[in-house]
Structures are given as C-alpha cells and as structure tokens.
Amino acid sequence: MKILVSFKPRAMYDNFEGARLRKSIKGALEVSNIPYVNEETDDFDIAHFVSPIDEKAIDSCIKRNIPVVVSALYCESDKYASFTKYTSNRKGRKETLTRRAIRVLSKATIITVPSERAKQFLIDSGIQKPIEVVYPTINLTRFPQDGPEKEIFYRHYQEEDDRKLIVCLGSYESTDGLTAYVKLAKKFPKVLFYYFSQDSNTLRFKFKRLVKKTPSNLKFKQIPQDDIYRSAIINASIFTYFGYSTVGITTVIEAMAARCDVVLRKQPLFEDILHDGVDCHIGEYSETIASIIKDLLDGTIASTKQKSFELVSDLGLDVFGKRLKEIYNKLLKEKN
C-alpha cells in the first residue's frame, strides 16, 4: 500500500494550514509504516487530498481508478485549503460549502472530517459520499517548550524576549472583532499583541482606518514561514480568533500543543470537540472574547492550557495513522 499525499498551492503560500495538515498526514503514515509519495507521476494505490484546489489531480486519479480520500474542514483559516464560504448580510451570517468544494467532495471515494458536527454539516449540505470522523492531530515534537525554536520569533521581529505575547489569527479583508482587540491592547501596553493574516500586507480601506488608531504594542503581520510562526505560538500565552467564520481546527490544535490558552468565538462545526471552560474559552461576542483575554491576563479566571495539552496529547500521530490505515485498507478491500 502506497499513498499519494498531495496539496500544492502557489509556493509563496505553502506555509499555512493546508501544508501543515499535509505534514501531519505524512508524519502519521511514517509512524504507521505506510509509504507515501508526493507526485502524481509516482506509483501509488490511494490518493489523499486536503483542498479543493487539487480538483484536476483528483480527476486524474479517478480516471486511473485510484480511490480518493479528501480531508475536509480541517483548514478553514487557509484560503487555499478551505471548503467553506462565509457570508454576512441583512439576512444574517451563514457558512456554506463553496461550489468547488461541493464538486470535489462529490468526486471523493471517502471523506474525512474532524468532528461529528462537521460530518452533519456536510450531510446537511447534500454531500452523499461516505464520511468518516478522524479527529485532528499534531506532531507534538514540533512545539517544544525549550530550545532554539523559542528564540526565532523575538529575533525575527526584533522584540524583547521578556514580554508576554498574544497571537490573534485574522484577515485583512475583515474587521471582525478588531476594535475590541485594539482596545484590549491599549489596556495592556506591556504585552505584545500580534495579528497574523494569510492576506498580503496591502490593507483594505476600513482596516487601514482602524490600524491608524492602534497602540505601538499591537503589530499586524502576514503569516510568516513555518518556523517563525511555530516560534510565535510556542512563545504565546494566549491564542485567539475573533472572526465569525469557521476557524481552522488545525491551527487551534497547534496552539493547544504549544500550551497556549485558546480563546475563540463560538464554533458550531467543532462544538463536540471544543469545550468552553475545559480545554478552551469561548465567547459569542467580540467584547466577551476581549473580556476573557483580560481576565486570563489578570489571572481572575482559570487557564485551560493544561487540559487542552492533554487533549491533543491523546490525539497523537499514532492514533491518526491508525485511523487512516483503517480507511485505506477498507478502500483497497472494496476496490479488489
């Protein structure tokens, strides 16, 4: 049994969730002694994809009668690996599958998703292919608490290494929660507040106006290379997400592995795996999220980082690899 593990965005964007999920899949296969290849020109028995952008490669595999696994809804913060589209208008806020995602998922032999709620979302969206819940995982060794990795962030951004750090994931196309984040940074001038986005640093007009009002301890940066981003998460006390759209569960699991306190807006797709006050803190409104972060900084509410680290520790690469092996064997048995 040999697996093609594929995800190919443009090279300059190969540093975010889709690429990191691909790395976790490869790590899980290595632990399970399952050989894999990276190129469609190689010989392989099963193809495993993580993004709708690989539709042409999926079509090619189908023509060759090769079973196709698609892992969906693990990387919704990565615009090159996302399956959903978020809209907000007078009728309300809504998350739906993109048309391309629907096409790709309808071509898959089998689909994996990170939660039961995500599975139900696909079913409710009209996807009729077999769906397996495979909980997200991470290679814990990539997030050591000591060692040279810790120094990379402070050295790269020329920051003082004794300052507490908060990392927020966001988008320069959206100002969701930004006002609350700015006000929070003003209350804690000795704390570093970083706002990472996959978008380029060309700020939209509304965003620019808000940025002009930000304090010097709040920095807006494009998602950096993997080693720099990992260093930021390793050093961060708190990871947060103010957006209304679905957060990438891969990014959340990474923050938990790095022993961050995780503070998020309510996440309907992951309600069965993220538990408020147990392994993370959840707020429905921007002001609530900011208030939770303030309380964590003040030490007036309990940290959840130990519980969340235990959660991801139980979902190691060996568990991930075992589940994938079960799915691959099932596909090969059905093919034969």
Q: What pLDDT is recorded for position 204?
A: 60
Q: Is 70 exceeded by the pLDDT of residue 325? A: yes
Q: What pLDDT is recorded for position 12?
A: 63
CATH code, domain carrying 241: 3.40.50.2000
- The pTM assigned to this predicted structure is 0.93
Q: Range of 80's domain? A: 3-137+316-335
Q: Of the candidates 75, 94, 95, 92, which has an alpha carbon nearest to the alpha carbon of residue 84?
A: 95
Q: Is 70 exceeded by the pLDDT of residue 207? A: no
Statement to judge: residues 10 and 71 lie in one domain: yes
Statement to judge: residues 81 and 229 lie in one domain: no
- Give the count of domains, the chain: 2
Structure tokens at 216: 């010097």
**CA 144 – CA 324 distance, rounded (Å):** 26
Q: Are strands 46-49 and 3-6 parallel, antiparallel or unpaired?
A: parallel
Statement to judge: residues 133 and 175 lie in one domain: no
Statement to judge: residues 167 and 293 lie in one domain: yes
Statement to judge: residues 43 and 118 lie in one domain: yes
State which H helix or E strand residue 221 sits in: strand 218-222
**CA 171 – CA 195 distance, rounded (Å):** 9
Say if residues 112 and 200 touch (Cβ distance below 8 Å).
no
pLDDT digits (tens, 9 = 90+) for 294-313: 999 999 999 999 999 998 99
Phi, psi of 289 (to 5 degrees): -60, -45
Statement to judge: residues 158 and 132 lie in one domain: no
Q: Is 70 exceeded by the pLDDT of residue 200? A: no
Statement to judge: residues 326 and 228 lie in one domain: no
Statement to judge: residues 126 and 204 lie in one domain: no
Q: Are strands 218-222 and 192-197 parallel, antiparallel or unpaired?
A: parallel
* Segment among 102-111, 306-315, 320-329 with least mean pLDDT: 306-315
Radius of gyration of the chain (CA): 20
DSSP one-letter code for 66? -
Q: Is 70 exceeded by the pLDDT of residue 159? A: yes
Statement to judge: residues 166 and 309 lie in one domain: yes
Statement to judge: residues 91 and 200 lie in one domain: no
Structure tokens at 221: 């940066």
Across the chain, what does the average pLDDT equal? 92
Q: Is 90 exceeded by the pLDDT of residue 104? A: yes
Statement to judge: residues 83 and 48 lie in one domain: yes
